[in-house]
Structure 1
Amino acid sequence: MKMMTFLLSHLKRIDRILVGTIVFLCLFGLLMVYSASYPLGEVKYEQGSYFFIKQWQWLVMGGFFFFIAALLPYQIYRKWIKWLVLLSLLCLILVLLPGIGVVKNNSQRWIHLGSLMLQPSEAVKLVMVIYFAYVYAKKQAYITSFKKGVMPPLILLGIAFLLILKQPDLGTAVSILLSCGIILLCAGLKTRHLILLGWTAAAGITFFAVTAPYRLKRLTSFRNPFQYENGDGYQLIHSYFAMNSGGLTGNGLGGSIQKLGFLPEAHTDFIMAIISEELGIMGILLVIGAYLLIMYRAMRIVQALHDPFGKLLTIGLTFQIMLQAAFNLGAVFGLLPITGIPLPFISYGGSSLMFMMISAGILVNLSSYVKKNPYRAHAK
């Protein structure tokens, strides 16, 4: 009875607008995966709804973990974080071992877990945000000391970065680096320490980007895709075709031409191109508006919370979602290189969806520590 009373009280305090926006994006994504993947499902598996069913299964599983994360007090991660970091780094090592890691499209990023195929780097995105929020909240008293207050967690981040780069997956490695960097920025570091770390990170990313021929090709092809129309520019060109034909209101749900074998990865990395073609600029604005609403609600939580760990965790989780959305949309619009990062809550992909929903569940839990009137929070 006490547990039921606690759950009901907890559910009353959560940010319903935040929950509604996340649910909307997930259901909208499910609909668009069905539309974008139907032709491929028919051709490849003789079942148009193949990818829709898979995405639905992951969504149900993700919904379960979302509910659990929304109910678990966020402070509990303080007790678990060391084990979570060790487990996530172990999984990054295992995925690189022959016979354990699964190779797809010249990348070794997945591990079979029974009938499921998980991508450990998606878990690392979440774990590193929790770890950095925990460590730098605890180090507030000596955050200005580089050796004692700043440096130790960066070693683990560097190890994770290199292991993910080995898969290879520079896009995910950079997104983790940036999410953790934003936590550092908000934790109160000295300006000179931030500048030093920023230049070091930029130099490292540039080095790894230009020293691998296929990455360098991606960097040059996105700037002028028509020069590489039969190679690396092909996908972006057909993304342009899709968006150009959509206009203001689109060609109607199911009316995409580019998904009929012209645009590769139409239901994954480039699902926004299909949204644009079928729902037009209005569809793009709807999705971007939903992300901005999540960010707005999250920033209200940050302003109200008094607990440094809760503040940094909210910031890290929020910008993790926003950065991933920015990377994906930037690639689709031709503003950034194609990194293979999915659109949060919308793109097809099991591991990405599940861990994104866990992140969202933690955000929802953080919102329950905010008093509605006045808008203040307490940390237990």
Structure 2
Amino acid sequence: MTTTTPPPTQAPDPSEPARRGLAARVSLGRVFTPVPSEFLLIASTALLLTGFGLVMVLSATSALGGAQNPFEHVLKQGVFAVLGIPLMFVASRLPVTFWRRMAWPVLIGATAFQLLVFTPLGIESYGNRNWISIAGLQFQPAEFLKLALALWMGAVLYRKRALLRSWGHVFIPIVPVGGAVIATVLAGRDLGTAMVLFLVVLAALFFSGVRLRMFILPALLAAVAVAALALSSENRRARIFSFLNPDTVDCYYDTCYQSLHGVWGLASGGIFGLGLGNSREKYDWLPAAANDYIFAIVGEELGLIGCAVVLALFALFAVGAFHIVRKTHDPFIRVVAGAITIWIVGQALINIGVVLRVFPVLGVPLPFMSQGGTSLLSVLLACGVLLSFARTLPVRPR
């Protein structure tokens, strides 16, 4: 009878637990990899502005929610914040090559989304057709065009970076494609958003290193187009003339009503404000208290100090974003980061200028803070792109 000797049992490797522990430490190290100071500055200011905005939306709409549900409006805004903040950090983990490859698909998708405003889903409000309603939820597709256009401009100018001294290479395809995208917004008579989109195009061209003399003709054409579009609409023409009219008594019950109450709200706040939640203008005196004129509510309730805090947060955001533009060696990152920064900071200054009656009423929201889920979601996604770019910067040793 033949017996089979079982093979000797292999002794456990005493170093195996150490290897597993090392692998765990390496994995945790990747998660907690130090990030540049620009990353922390942009992320922290975005979160603070979003939280500040939710508080002010709650305060501005507390008189509109009714006794049954005074939190109705802020809860809707909070849903988009809960979606947007995780998406911002997910976007921050995506590589730069992903954003470069997705530029064309994102622009095509955002433009197709914008075209839905001309279908039965579209909604017209205050003379503009720039909203759609899906399953009871309203969206403003043009807000996503701002990020899509910034990414697309960066990808095109990156590919043509050695040919930007030629007018023909700058003209094609930027002018026809960019013009067609902006035209979809102008077709809905949303001049304010169209101006912001044109600002994104100009910022991308500037940060790409295009010669300044090439800006003269587009700037002149844009000025003529804006003047023609502004004067062709009776509503816009009335707003501009009321802005230029020094005697506001005649138009108090018409085109000056909202802008005057916005200024009065700021003035009544003084230095320290009336206190959070104590606004008087939000009680049906200021129609867009939670939207385009939320900065007036900030000034009324929190005073000059509250306004200064908002301006300081936007200034810190701009510092972090412009540091990315200055430090990077990648032309794509420079163009897209510059365009996004000019979009967000420039739109904030336009909104605040409208509240202060420095500009006529243009209907653009205050980024991060105005009520509007689509605007908040698009701005947080744009911050995620900036954070993705910030990860490419070298980390200063501590």
TM over 0.5: yes
| Bigger mean CA offset, 81-90 vs 101-110 | 101-110
- Compared CA separation, residues 34 and 114, structure 1 to 2 (3 A): same
- Counterpart of 2:55 in structure 1 is 31
Greater mean alpha carbon deviation, residues 86-95 or residues 293-302: 86-95
Aligned counterpart, 1:278 = 301
Deviation of the 1:3 alpha carbon: 6.9
8 Å Cα contact 1:143/1:150 also seen in 2: no
Matches within 5 A, 1:1-380: 5-9=29-33, 15-42=39-66, 46-97=68-119, 99-224=120-245, 225-373=248-396
Aligned to 1:378: none
Cα distance change, pair 10–139 in 1 and its aligned pair in 2 (3 A): farther
Change (3 A) 1:84 1:168: same
Alignment gaps of 5+ in structure 1: 376-380
Number of the residue aligned with 2:8: none
3-state SS of the aligned residue for 1:252? Answer: coil
| Percent pairwise identity | 30
User: Residue type of the partner of 1:40?
Assistant: L
Q: Is the CA contact 1:276–1:284 (under 8 Å) kept in the aligned structure 2?
A: yes
2:268–2:300: 8 Å Cα contact kept in structure 1? yes
Alignment TM-score, normalising by the size of structure 2: 0.89
1:204 offset after TM fit, Å?
1.2
User: Match for 2:55: what amino acid?
Assistant: L
Query: Offset of 1:64 from its aligned partner?
Result: 2.2
* Partner Cα separation in structure 2 for residue 127 and residue 7 of structure 1: 29
66-75 vs 118-127, which moves further:
66-75
Contact 2:114 2:142 in 1 (8 A): yes
1:34 Cα deviation from its structure 2 partner: 0.5
Q: 1:4 to 1:167 in 2, by over 3 A?
A: farther
Letter in 2 for 1:248: I
1:171 alignment partner AA = G
1:268 CA drift (Å): 0.8
Q: Distance in 1 between matches of 2:93 and 2:172?
A: 33
* Rounded Cα–Cα distance in structure 2 between residues aligned with 1:337 and 1:4: 53
Q: Deviations over 1:166-225 (max 9, x none)?
A: 112100000010111011122222333111111111111111111211111111112334
Bigger proportion of residues as helix: 1
Q: Displacement, 1:162? A: 1.5
Contiguous gaps of at least 5 residues in structure 2: 1-23
Q: Distance in 2 between matches of 1:125 and 1:182?
A: 12
Q: Is the 8 A contact 1:13 1:371 kept in 2?
A: no
* Conservation of the 8 A alpha-carbon contact between 1:111 and 1:117: yes
When residues 94 and 57 of structure 1 are mapped into structure 2, their CA distance, relative to the original with a 3 A threshold, is same
> Across the two proteins, how many residue pairs are aligned to each other?
372
Deviations 1:77-102 (A, max 9, x none): 111111111112222222112x1213
Q: Is the 8 A contact 2:121 2:134 kept in 1?
A: no
Normalising by structure 1, we get a TM-score of 0.93
Query: Which letter does structure 1 place at the counterpart of 2:289?
Result: A
Report if aligned partners of 1:110, 1:120 keep a CA contact under 8 Å in 2: yes
